[in-house]
């Protein structure tokens, strides 16, 4: 069985502060991990995927197989980063999403 | 190009009635997913289609829920005898292929309210 846990439903930081959105997963095989984001009144969209090892909008995420984690990080949060963030695991044909974390960046 | 579209955007129905939700995936995408997004909860997988293979229905919450995909393109999610707990946003997504590593493109969702 595959499982994704995002322990924080809500996360609030001040503009310019570092932010880390936590994601832990459970999967017996070799997982593909993603972060999706949903800005207010917009559709859910891909932010980044671990196989690309890229930085998008200043966000990075490193897959830690030992800790089974895929935390999303940004060194300096911006107000426009306020959104709902979902961690997702793709194993085989199915994708499993976490419950999401609502990030609020205060001015 | 055109993204994933869903209709209707909003649907209000009375308890006990049947509803049909429609999804038009991105042209050429062979994989299509349905999810349910409830307030305060994450995305709940419902069903997935890949090409001509039998759909993975493992996420459907009850036999009141069914879905079909005609001609490998448009998909319809049907909920029979709706209940208040069915109220949620129903999201459709498509990807060029199923499986790991392939980005899912989401539609805007259908907000279903059962009164």
| Per-residue pLDDT reduced to its tens digit, B4-25 | 999 999 999 999 999 999 999 9
Q: How far apart are CA A90 and CA B40, in angstroms?
A: 22
- Contact assignment for B43 to A86 by CB distance below 8 Å: yes
Asked whether the predicted pLDDT for residue A52 surpasses 80, the reply is no
Model confidence over B26-45: pLDDT tens digits? 998 989 999 999 876 788 99
Asked whether the predicted pLDDT for residue A94 surpasses 90, the reply is no
Residue A85 in contact with residue A100, Cβ under 8 Å? yes
Q: Smallest CA–CA separation between B66 and chain A, in Å?
A: 18
Write down the pLDDT at residue B99.
Answer: 62
Q: From residue A92, how far is each of A16, A65, A79, A89, B46 by CA, in Å? A: 38, 18, 36, 10, 16
- Contact assignment for A43 to B41 by CB distance below 8 Å: no
Q: B56: which chain A residues are within 8 Å (Cβ-Cβ)?
A: 93-94
Percent of chain A with pLDDT over 70: 99
Percent of chain A with pLDDT over 90: 73
Q: Smallest CA–CA separation between A52 and chain B, in Å?
A: 9
Model confidence over A96-106: pLDDT tens digits? 899 999 999 99
pLDDT band at B1 (very low <50, low <70, confident <90, very high): low
Q: Which of B41, B45, B48 sits opposite A99 (nearest CB)?
A: B41
Write down the pLDDT at residue B19.
Answer: 98
- pLDDT, mean over chain B: 91
Give rounded-to-5 percent helix, strand, coil for chain A.
5, 50, 45
DSSP class of B51 = T
Q: For residue B71, give every residue at least 6 positions away whose Cβ sits within 8 Å of its Cβ, in sequence order, or none.
A: none
- pLDDT, mean over chain A: 92
Write down the pLDDT at residue B70.
Answer: 85
Put simply, whether A96 touches B (Cβ < 8 Å) is: yes
Q: Smallest CA–CA separation between A94 and chain B, in Å?
A: 6
Q: B45: which chain A residues are within 8 Å (Cβ-Cβ)?
A: 94-97
Residue B110 in contact with residue B7, Cβ under 8 Å? yes
pLDDT band at B100 (very low <50, low <70, confident <90, very high): low
**CA A89 to the chain's CA centroid:** 11
Q: Over range A27-45, report the average pLDDT.
A: 91
Asked whether the predicted pLDDT for residue B98 surpasses 70, the reply is no
Q: Over range B64-92, report the average pLDDT.
A: 95
A 45-84 residues with CB < 8 A to B: 45-46, 49, 51
């Amino acid at each position: 069985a595959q499982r994704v846990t995002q322990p924080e439903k809500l996360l609030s930081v001040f503009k310019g502060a570092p932010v880390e959105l936590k994601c832990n997963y459970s999967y017996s095989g070799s997982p593909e991990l993603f972060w999706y984001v949903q800005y207010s009144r917009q559709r859910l969209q891909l932010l980044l995927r671990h196989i690309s090892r890229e930085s998008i909008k200043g966000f990075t995420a490193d897959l830690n197989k030992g800790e089974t984690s895929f935390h999303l990080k940004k060194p300096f949060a911006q107000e426009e980063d306020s959104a709902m963030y979902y961690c997702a695991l793709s194993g085989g044909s199915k994708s499993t999403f976490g419950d999401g974390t609502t990030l609020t960046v205060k001015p | 190009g055109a993204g994933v579209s869903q209709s209707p955007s909003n649907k209000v129905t009375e308890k006990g009635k049947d509803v049909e939700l429609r999804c038009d995936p991105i042209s050429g995408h062979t994989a299509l997913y349905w999810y349910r997004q409830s307030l305060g909860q994450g995305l709940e997988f419902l069903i997935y289609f890949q090409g001509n293979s039998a759909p993975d229905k493992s996420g459907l919450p009850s036999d009141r829920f069914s879905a079909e995909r005609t001609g490998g393109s448009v998909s319809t999610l049907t909920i029979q005898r709706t209940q208040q707990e069915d109220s949620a946003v129903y999201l459709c997504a498509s990807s060029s292929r199923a499986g790991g590593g392939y980005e899912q493109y989401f539609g805007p969702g259908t907000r279903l309210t059962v009164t």
